[in-house]
Amino acid sequence: MKKSEPLSSEVMWGSTVFQTSCYKPILEYIDAQFEKYLEEELRIKRSLFNCHDTRIHICLYFIAPTGHSLKSLDLVTMKKLDSKVNIIPVIAKADTVSKSELDKLKIKIMSELVSNGVQIYQFPTEDEAVAEINSSMNTHLPFAVVGSVEDVKVGNKMVKARIYPWGSVQVENENHCDFVKLREMLLRVNMEDLREQTHARHYELYRRCKLEEMGFKDTDPDSQSFSLQETYEAKRREFLMDLQRKEEEMRQMFVNKVKETEAELKEKEKELHDRFEQLKRMHQDEKKNLEEKRRELEEEMNSFNRRKVAAETLMGQALQGCSQPFKKDKDKKK
């Protein structure tokens, strides 16, 4: 698909493998149950008979009755699950497809599963007691089922069924759907085999992979004997070295972080110091300007006082000159 082509809602919502991570929660849950059982097995004092076994023994994978084929997402998901759990494909809402179309859909689904290498659970035929019925049920895969929560009166009894204008589809009627076949195969005939398959195949595969990750491995007859103590010590040394390496990385990361913080603080300190020096210079300049203005005002005040004294002196002399002729005129009149 070209980058310029827009993704349709169908493509983005499951018709292809764009949502490849949707099955991860299922895988994680199944592995978590295997992990609990493995932890119980590895205990010094273990009690597997009294242990609550939460391992998943069967996965009913419901398929939409589109009438065409499996979606790519279905194939990818079942391929990821087939090594983890027993898978039985089930066609949901089988009453939406005609009988002939349903038979064609079953053949198409089984053909696609085989061609893509998806291993689903096959009912065992080794036991003569159940060989005939299991062989017959294997031909009905995938089972087509119908569900309902409504109780409908059919004849003299109440049954679970879906009501349509043309009639009803009974959940437990084998002529209408495969619900009874599926229930009988799971709960009555093959429950123990499902448990055995889970333990002998799926859990053993998980256990082997997990122990290999922990450093345990089987030895050939020609090789040296296997030592659990040596394996434990080697794994312990590997763990301590890895822990020491991570500790050194964290210490170096902390040192680098401290250095970065110190550099940032020094830069901030330098900025504050420069700002302080700038304000100090501005203060000194303002102080110098005020001093100059104060001297100018003092000189102006001194000059003003000198002019005032001179003006008062001149005024006094003028008044004194005017008073002398006035006295002479008075003396003459006398």
- What's the confidence (pLDDT) of residue 326? 61
Pairing of β 151-154 and β 157-164: antiparallel
Q: Which amino acid is at 172?
A: E
For residue 74, the Cα-to-chain-centroid distance in whole angstroms is 23
Residue 137: Cβ-neighbour burial (10 angstroms; 0-12, 13-18, 19+): buried
Residue with the larger pLDDT of the pair 334 and 295: 295
- The pLDDT mean for the chain works out to 83
**Has residue 334 got a pLDDT over 90?**
no
Cβ atoms of 198 and 85 within 8 Å: the answer is: yes
- In which band, very low, low, confident or very high, does the pLDDT at 167 lie, cut at 50, 70 and 90? confident
Residues paired with residue 160 on neighbouring β-strands, in sequence order: 151
Confidence (pTM):
0.61
Between 25-39, 151-165, 191-205, 265-279, the lowest mean confidence (pLDDT) is in: 151-165
Q: What integer pLDDT is reported at residue 11 of this predicted model?
A: 37
Q: 3-state SS of the chain: helix, strand, coil percent to 5? A: 65, 10, 30
Cβ contacts of residue 31 below 8 Å, gap of 6+? 84, 206
The pLDDT confidence band at residue 3, using thresholds 50, 70 and 90, is very low
In the chain, what are the domains? Answer: 23-215 (3.40.50.300)
Q: What is the average per-residue pLDDT within 148-174?
A: 84
With a cut of 90, say whether residue 196 has pLDDT above it. yes
CA distance 212 to 216: 5
pLDDT tens digit sequence for 6-63: 333 333 344 444 455 788 899 999 999 999 888 888 877 777 777 788 999 999 999 9
* pLDDT for position 20: 59
CA dihedral 136, 140, 142, 148 (to 10 degrees): -110
What is the torsional sign of CA 33, 39, 45, 48?
positive
Cα torsion angle, 231, 233, 236, 237, sign? negative
DSSP state of 146: -
